[in-house]
A = this chain, B = another copy of it.
Amino acid sequence: MSFNYAKSARKILCIGRNYAAHIAELNNVKPQQPFYFLKPTSSILQQGAGAVLIPKGTVVHHEVELAVILNKTLKNLDPDAFSDKDAIDAIDGYALAIDFTARNVQDEAKKKGLPWSIGKGFDTFCPLSAFIPKSKIPDPYNVELFLKINGETKQDDLTSLMIFPINKILSTMSSVMTLEKGDIILTGTPKGVGKVVPGDHIVAGLKVDGVEIEEGKLDLP
């Protein structure tokens, strides 16, 4: 299984608040437009490379997400013209990702109007599965994302619940920053986010029509 995509990514962009029930659980406001933030590529943790690190003084939450990897440059896309099919054409493949978040650091930043980069950017805060070939996911809105801690299911929802579809996400981002071949886009987390502590055994994955996709497995010791 290939992890090369994780080494060559120029940037990681993540949508916030793309599932209504997750917005409600954090008492956030539903955005009119997709908003997003960067995670540093130094936060990538490849499947098999070890555990997520819980930095001292932080409360770390899991957010399981479907990641798309781009196969071309996208720049100043017309949001009215860039279709669902165009978006699929621009996708090289998929991955399962966890957008780990130091929630107390992020909450403090939100209160003070400071950037999210620290709360989102610690080393190991972006575990990525192996590359999932596009053929394995015929429809990115028909994917079941799940995450378990010590055997207990914490998140389990369908990507059909996304508020903003991928074409809308890509066109909005592309009007600000050029998206490049290899960029990794995290499409938001469904409800059920919560705390992880050192020693937790975290297993996450995705299913298509009830069948788990081997490449999408994440198993963090």
Identify the closest chain B residue to A75 (Cβ).
Answer: B123
B121 touches A177 (CB 8 A): yes
Binds B, one of A79-87, A106-114, A185-193: A106-114
Q: Which of A73-102 contact B (CB under 8 A)?
A: 75
B109 touches A16 (CB 8 A): no
Give bound CA distance, A110 to B116, whole Å. 11
A10 touches B177 (CB 8 A): no
Binds B, one of A31-39, A64-72, A131-139: A31-39
B115 touches A113 (CB 8 A): no
A38 touches B40 (CB 8 A): yes
Given A121-B177, A122-B176, A177-B122, A11–B115 Cβ distance below 8 Å?
Answer: no
User: Interface 1/0s, chain A 38-59, versus B by CB < 8 A?
Assistant: 1011110000000000010000
Residues of B within 8 A of A75 (CB): 123
Give bound CA distance, A72 to B8, whole Å. 19
Give bound CA distance, A35 to B123, whole Å. 17
A178 contacts chain B at the CB level, 8 A cutoff: yes
Identify the closest chain B residue to A118 (Cβ).
Answer: B176
Give bound CA distance, A122 to B16, whole Å. 18
A180 contacts chain B at the CB level, 8 A cutoff: yes
Given A10-B42, A42-B10, A36–B177 Cβ distance below 8 Å?
Answer: no
A115 touches B35 (CB 8 A): yes
Q: A10-B40, A38-B121, A42-B177 are in contact. List 19 more A-B contacts (CB 8 A).
A: A10-B42, A11-B42, A13-B40, A29-B112, A35-B114, A35-B115, A36-B115, A40-B177, A42-B178, A75-B123, A109-B113, A110-B113, A111-B113, A115-B117, A116-B117, A118-B176, A121-B177, A122-B176, A123-B177
